[in-house]
């Protein structure tokens, strides 16, 4: 039954009774020996199977330009895949590089190149600066933050809003502090909160004055095509907006087919101004004579056209949308009206972001672990894994089968209620 009384408003006696009920429910969970995992945004086996046509491709070893893809060469990636994903991402194919299977590797390489050499518009390598700082919209993607700390880059956080990052806060920071060299952004279906950055916010981000002349937006469009509803929202056209504002080198765009085909054997993309692309491949060429073009060609043959990719994404949606629906149903049934939790209702991407009673997220995660349900570690959506309110929990429902998603969420709901009751009683 729906919990209709807001827990924070319960009289002490009722709260004590409620806590006992939840403790009993939790003890019952312990007896069930669950082993469930909602931690990582991985495609399920059923999703991977959708792309098994790749396993018998390519049917030829020459690409559309007659290049033998088995050999060295072609640092920018084959033309046909750059055209296909250029159209899907709204970017000129000449400004797209197709690389190996991981866009995260491309992000790391970009940061290292900036560190060692600076960008096309830098005065010096970033390592020669006394300090480098990045703006991080939060909650965000843990691996973005890990990359920064690995390089010794400082962070300053801004909130995500329904339109994208809090653009007033970003503009104020970027204008006033020359150590602020860049920002992260997952513009479409943010990880983990699902918001889509609007064209207006993007326009402001690429046109705002910045104290650093070489400010970079790491535009990580990992979920550009990953719609959960029939509404196939287009990403903001960041490169055109940037060029039109006279800051063509500000955004660097990343994307991949990790959650389109195979997470371990897809194709990753980087895009930017023509100068940025030449800068990137110039540095890439010091360590590579060319990407896995055979993998790129089999992707081209598998999809046939940009519409082939769109159709394929609808098949993914059929598999995963019910899992998201199950998460939301359980949250609503068990936590709606309790006054101790709020959550996102994403239109795409891979996550639901759950905010529990402040000060209880780590306790919820600990309780869930005790009951055999793995949740992403507390604070992981914040730089330094520090969630100042200890409130946020990232739920990733794509990998487990539907019945397990439901079972895991029932357990999570019990843990949220028990942790809240403990906190309110204490």
Q: Write out the residues near ligand PLP by the rule CB under 6 A.
A: 41, 102-104, 141, 186, 191, 220, 222, 256, 258, 263, 268
How far the first Cα of the chain sits from its last, in Å, is 26
Closest of 19, 9, 11 to residue 421, by C-alpha: 19
* Min CB(44)–ligand PLP separation in Å: 14
Least Cβ distance, residue 240 to ligand PLP (angstroms)? 22
* Least spacing, CB of residue 286 vs ligand PLP, in Å: 21
Least distance between ligand PLP and beta carbon 327 (Å): 17
Q: Which is nearer to ligand PLP, 40 or 234 (CB)?
A: 40
Question: What does the alpha-carbon distance between residue 137 and residue 155 come to, in Å, rounded to a whole number?
Answer: 10
The CB-of-254 to ligand PLP minimum distance in angstroms stands at: 7
Q: Any idea which residue has 């009993």 for tokens? A: 24
Closest C-alpha among 3, 28, 25 to residue 14: 3
Tell the smallest beta-carbon distance from residue 329 to ligand PLP (Å): 24
DSSP annotation of 222 reads T
Q: Name 121's Cβ contacts closer than 8 Å, sequence gap at least 6.
A: 213, 214, 249
Residue whose CB is less far from ligand PLP, 222 or 243: 222
Type and span of the H or E element at 98: strand 96-98
When the beta carbons of 186 and 228 are compared against ligand PLP, the nearer one is: 186
Residue 417 token pair? 């209620």
Nearest CB to ligand PLP, comparing residues 118 and 346: 346
**Least distance to ligand PLP, CB of residue 72, Å:** 23
Exposure of 196 in the CB half-sphere (CA atoms within 13 A)? 21
Q: Which is nearer to ligand PLP, 268 or 367 (CB)?
A: 268
State the nearest-atom distance from the C-beta of 186 to ligand PLP, in Å: 4
Q: What is the dihedral of CA 272, 278, 280, 283, to 10 degrees?
A: -170
Q: Which is nearer to ligand PLP, 99 or 248 (CB)?
A: 99
Phi, psi (degrees; rounded to nearest 5) at 137: -65, 135
- The 3-class secondary structure across 168-199, one letter per residue, is HHHHHHHHHCCCEEEEEECCCCCCCCCCCCCH
Centre a 10 Å sphere on the Cβ of residue 381 and count the other Cβ atoms it contains.
24
- Nearest distance in Å: CB 390, ligand PLP: 23
Q: Which is nearer to ligand PLP, 41 or 182 (CB)?
A: 41
E strands in 249-349: 251-256, 268-271, 341-343
Distance CA 260, CA 144 (A): 21
Nearest CB to ligand PLP, comparing residues 72 and 150: 150
The whole-angstrom separation of Cα 86 and Cα 80 is 10
Query: Taking Cα atoms as reference points, which of 98, 131, 137, 104 lies closest to residue 115?
Result: 131
Nearer residue to ligand PLP within complex by CB, 105 or 211: 105
């Amino acid at each position: 039954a729906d919990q209709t009384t807001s827990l924070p408003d319960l009289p002490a006696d009722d709260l004590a009774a409620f806590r006992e009920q939840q403790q009993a429910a939790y003890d019952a969970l312990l007896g069930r020996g669950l082993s469930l995992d909602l931690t990582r945004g991985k495609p399920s086996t059923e999703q991977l199977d959708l792309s098994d046509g790749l396993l018998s491709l390519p049917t030829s070893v020459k690409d559309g330009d007659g290049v033998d893809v088995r050999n060295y060469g072609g640092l920018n990636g084959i033309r046909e895949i750059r055209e296909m994903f250029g159209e899907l991402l709204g970017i000129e194919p000449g400004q797209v590089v197709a690389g190996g299977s991981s866009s995260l590797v491309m992000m790391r390489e970009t940061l290292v190149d900036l560190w060692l050499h600076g960008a096309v518009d830098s005065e010096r390598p970033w390592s020669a600066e006394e300090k480098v700082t990045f703006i991080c919209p939060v909650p965000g993607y843990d691996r973005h933050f890990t990359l920064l700390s690995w390089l010794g880059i400082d962070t300053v956080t801004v909130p995500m809003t329904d339109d994208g990052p809090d653009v007033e806060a970003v503009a104020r920071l970027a204008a006033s502090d020359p150590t602020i060299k860049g920002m992260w952004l997952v513009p479409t279906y943010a990880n983990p909160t699902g918001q889509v950055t609007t064209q207006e916010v993007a326009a402001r981000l690429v046109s705002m004055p910045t104290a650093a002349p070489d400010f970079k937006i790491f535009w990580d469009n990992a979920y550009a095509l990953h719609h959960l509803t029939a509404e196939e929202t287009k990403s903001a056209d960041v490169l055109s907006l940037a060029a039109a504002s006279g800051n063509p080198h500000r955004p660097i765009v990343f994307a991949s087919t990790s959650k389109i085909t195979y997470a371990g054997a897809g194709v990753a993309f980087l895009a930017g101004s023509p100068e940025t692309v030449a800068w990137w491949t110039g540095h890439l060429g010091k360590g590579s004579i060319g990407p896995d073009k055979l993998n790129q060609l089999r992707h081209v043959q598998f999809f046939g056209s940009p519409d082939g990719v769109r159709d394929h994404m609808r098949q993914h949606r059929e598999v995963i949308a019910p899992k998201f629906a199950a998460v939301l149903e359980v949250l609503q049934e068990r936590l709606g009206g309790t006054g101790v939790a709020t959550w996102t209702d994403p239109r795409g991407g891979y996550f639901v972001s759950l905010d529990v009673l402040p000060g209880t997220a780590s306790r919820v995660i600990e309780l869930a672990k005790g009951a055999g349900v793995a949740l992403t570690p507390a604070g992981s959506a914040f730089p330094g894994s520090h969630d100042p309110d200890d409130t946020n929990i990232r739920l990733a429902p794509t990998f487990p089968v539907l019945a397990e998603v439901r079972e895991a969420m029932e357990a999570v709901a019990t843990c949220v209620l028990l942790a809240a009751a403990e906190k309110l009683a204490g």
